[in-house]
Amino acid sequence: APAQLGVDMMSMVLTSVEPATHVLGFTVGLFDDHYLPGNAEGWTPLGPKKQLAFDAVLTDEEIVRHRVPGPPLSSYIPQVPHNEFEVVNILIVGSMKYDGQKNIYVQQLTHMDRTRFNFTYASFMGDEDRATFTKLPRILTELGVEPVWRPIPPISGDEASTSHPDLGALVDRLDGKNSDGLNNYLLEALALSNNVPENTSPPFVRRTWLHLVENLRHLRPDVLVFANARDPSDLILCRAARLAVPSAKLVMELPNLWPQLWDLDLIVAPSHYAALHFSVQDAVHSLPVDRRPHVAVVTPGVDATIYGNVERAACPVECSLANASWPVNWERDGAKGCAASCEIVGFLARLSPEKSPGLLVHAAAIILAARPLARIVFVGDGAARNMCEELARAYGIENRVIFVGAVYGAENVASYYASFDVVVQPALRAWSETFCIANLEAMASARPIVSFGVGGVGEYFVAAPTR
């Protein structure tokens, strides 16, 4: 109790909490005169860490007010010189972790004309990723796209300390992995060398720049594509590409906002909301006029033949009727489903705060009280999973709220959509929903959707009865 701690306040006021599910960790403790923020010394915790979740629901008026009228921006893509007898080399650079953006790449690669385009996928991540992430390389190989591993040579804290003790300590804390501070140091070192990698110093900086430039020069891209990482690593990749292949066209995809720009030819946004967001427009207009990239809107798509032709649903609910009479025609003509009488409300996305999964758990308590045979199924994983499981236990509904975990691959994802009676996308934070391709997957699966029209969702999502 506050009185036992000698504190007379009974409440705290938190400001600037954005509309979404936020998970904040709190620990009550005492600190002495020697305590410094971020330092464990001088701090005595008085109990375990607790998590608090914050939910907010936007009104219809707020959602409409934040929509982008339009389309106000053309889907202009600059003309790329091309000889019909010449194959264009497209290099995609990113990690080998299979996530939503990589799934979009896979869908695009599946349908691209291989007589005109040659694709390579390259990762400059560390060697440890080769053993951890095997799914994407396997899929790329099956598609005839070469996965190339070019890990940046590791940087040790001892080596970095020869330049500056603080830099060595930074590298030690990150186990040799890049960070904003280290990336900015690499960029400053290149600028001091007049953009000549061979003249950079200390040795680990020169080694890093030469590794990137030489490998990009060897890969010889006509077009280099990468996803916005929102950190200085994007600036490093662009500068290395300009030094390696000056004629290459540099294209940034926008799976998220707040890009860091230096020199690009094209930004591809999934919606007009993303293209016109102030973080993107401010970044573009902060550049000299001759270095400002074009911004194009190219909406993602899904293969409707996969989602509309599921032979067997991946029903996560254990019951005696699960798939027993599969396939059958049920509520919708031509749709396949299980004859069990339960109703499945499905969520398929990352279990992270910006997706507001906690809001659905709160709603689940109401739904399950009114519909005893209903089940709430979460397909996905992420930082908010533990909080959602704890919240379900607090409501006493943990036996009817099912957490499947992460599922990858269009066929596997489609099999879960086939088991849902309704799909819920509760995300409320506009800037994290630049498009929400999961809604397209649900539509292609002929499933009704409950979703907020925030961000790019409002450009295609219309409230109307499912036909």
What does the pLDDT look like over 393-426, one tens digit per residue? 999 999 899 999 988 778 889 999 988 999 999 9
Contact present, 359 and 23 (Cβ < 8 Å): no
Task: Give the burial string for 168-178 (b: 16+ CB within 10 Å, else e).
Answer: bebbeeeebeb
How many angstroms separate the CA atoms of 348 and 104, rounded?
16
Q: Is the dihedral of CA 24, 25, 29, 31 positive or negative?
A: negative
Higher pLDDT, 270 or 326: 270
How many angstroms separate the CA atoms of 87 and 23, rounded?
49
Reading the block at residue 117, the tokens are 């385009």
Q: First-to-last CA distance in the chain?
A: 56
Does residue 201 surpass a pLDDT of 70?
yes
Higher pLDDT, 84 or 121: 121
Lowest average pLDDT, out of 154-163, 176-185, 326-335, 349-358, goes to: 326-335
Confidence of residue 234 (pLDDT cuts 50, 70, 90): very high
Does residue 384 surpass a pLDDT of 80?
yes
Question: Where in 349-412 does DSSP place strands (E)?
Answer: 374-379, 401-405
Cβ neighbours, 10 Å, residue 122: 21
